[in-house]
Amino acid sequence: MKSPGIVLLIGSLLAPPLGSSNDAWQTGRIVDVQKNVTTKTLYWLVNTPVTQDETTYTVSVHLKDKVFTGAYEAGRVQGAPPEEWVKDRPVKVQIDDDLMYLRAPAGNQFKLNIVKRKSAAMMRPVTAAELAEAYASPAANPDDSVTGFIPPATGSATAPTPRQQPASAAQPAAAPAAASKPAAEPAGTIAVRSTPYLADVYVDGQNMGYTPAKLSLPPGKHAVRFEKQGYKTWSKEITLTAGSELLLDATLEKK
């Protein structure tokens, strides 16, 4: 007879570990996807810096009554996020402590470090049809489609011919040439950085994402504001001219 201790030990070894269930995937909705490009100096060659651009993506997801924002650096393993990830798009998500996993429509997974969590209103439920559409395989588009052709009569060897309009049908008048528009004035560029990084950036009251980032703005005056939980707000008014480049580096003070 096996002792109760041995039975309990064997049972615990055979039991599946917590959190290993395949049902851990939940359904959320994409809130926002931001791309931030920073230039890093690798070394100096005489008086010329050798630089490398680093691309960071931040993805915000609404899950139940919270919004999780995760970030990852693009590379060989994880490239750019799928183009389908637009606002309100359903997405399968897993939260594991400070990590967030997102499943792309193609089936591959993205691993992000959670940099922000905030409470929100309860997410609008995702219907089965929405989820099926978000993860549906692309429809096939066969090359032998005969749309717009009339099939030949049974037994006829004549090839299909394009549909013809009746002779009596009036041909549409040619549209007048559009008036030429003046070329738009080139935008200015502002590179925003902060200490600490991943601060919210607001330009003229509109949330533009997180630091570090490069922003294209129309020429003129703009009010720039940096905010981060636990730190005092930092703000400054700038003036951009067409095609100009400006660096704004903010040091936030703790409250």
- Three-state DSSP string of 55-116: EEEEEEEEECCEEEEEEEECCCCCCCCCCCCCCCCEEEEEEECCEEEEECCCCCEEEEEEEE
Residue 137 has pLDDT above 60, yes or no: yes
Residue 56 has pLDDT above 70, yes or no: yes
Residue 241 has pLDDT above 80, yes or no: yes
Calpha distance 190→146 (Å, rounded): 52
List, for residues 71-93, the tens digit of each pLDDT value: 999 887 888 999 999 999 999 99
Residue 148 has pLDDT above 80, yes or no: no
Question: In Å, what is the CA distance from 192 to each residue of 30, 36, 91, 124?
Answer: 25, 10, 30, 34
Calpha distance 75→29 (Å, rounded): 25
List, for residues 168-202, the tens digit of each pLDDT value: 444 555 555 555 555 666 788 888 899 988 888 99
The structure's pTM equals 0.48
